[in-house]
Amino acid sequence: MSALLLDGKALAARIQAELTHEVRSLQERFPRPPGLAVLWVGDNPASAAYVGNKNRSGAGVGIDISKGQHLPATLSEAELLAIVDELNADASVDGILVQLPLPEQIDSNRILDRIDPDKDVDGLHPTNLGRLVRGEPGLRSCTPAGVMRLLAEAGIDLAGKTAVVLGRSILVGKPVALMLLEKNATVIMAHSRTRDLAALTRSADVVVAAVGKPGLVDGAMIKPGAVVIDVGINRITDAAGKSRLVGDVDFASVREVASAITPVPGGVGPMTVTMLLANTVQSYRRRVGS
Q: Which of 7, 16, 54, 119 is catalytic?
A: 54
Q: What percent of the chain has pLDDT over 70?
A: 100
Q: Is residue 16 part of a domain?
A: no
User: What's the domain range around 90?
Assistant: 32-116
- The single-letter code of the amino acid at 140 is R
Per-chain mean pLDDT for the chain = 96
Q: Is residue 232 part of a domain?
A: yes
Domain count, the chain: 2
Q: Is 54 a catalytic residue?
A: yes
Distance (Å, rounded) from C-alpha 113 to C-alpha 172?
18
Return the CATH number at 38.
3.40.50.10860
pLDDT of residue 249: 97
Q: Is residue 3 part of a domain?
A: no
pLDDT of residue 240: 84
pLDDT of residue 2: 85
- Asked whether the predicted pLDDT for residue 194 surpasses 90, the reply is yes
Q: Is residue 99 part of a domain?
A: yes
Q: Which of 99, 161, 205, 282 is catalytic?
A: 99
- Which residues does the annotation place in the binding site for NADP(+)? 167-169, 233
User: What is the 3-state composition of the chain as percent helix, strand, coil, each rounded to the nearest 5?
Assistant: 45, 15, 40
For 22-167, where are the E strands, in sequence order? 36-41, 69-71, 95-98, 162-166
- Asked whether the predicted pLDDT for residue 214 surpasses 80, the reply is yes
Please write the tens of the pLDDT for every residue from 103-138.
999 999 999 999 999 999 999 999 999 999 999 999
Q: Is 122 a catalytic residue?
A: yes
pLDDT of residue 1: 63
If asked whether residues 79 and 150 sit together in one domain, one would say: no
Q: Which of 7, 64, 122, 230 is catalytic?
A: 122
Q: Identify the band that residue 290 occupies on the pLDDT scale cut at 50, 70 and 90.
A: confident
- Which residues does the annotation place in the binding site? 167-169, 233
pLDDT of residue 250: 97
Q: Is 90 a catalytic residue?
A: no
Return the CATH number at 206.
3.40.50.720
How far is Cα of residue 26 from the mean position of the Cα atoms in its chain?
25
Q: What percent of the chain has pLDDT over 90?
A: 93
Which residues on adjacent β-strands are paired with residue 164?
188, 207
Please write the tens of the pLDDT for every residue from 19-53.
999 999 999 999 999 999 999 999 998 899 999 99
Please write the tens of the pLDDT for every residue from 64-88.
999 999 999 999 999 999 999 999 9
If asked whether residues 40 and 150 sit together in one domain, one would say: no
pLDDT of residue 241: 85
Q: Say if pTM beats, i.e. exceeds, 0.75.
A: yes
If asked whether residues 198 and 239 sit together in one domain, one would say: yes
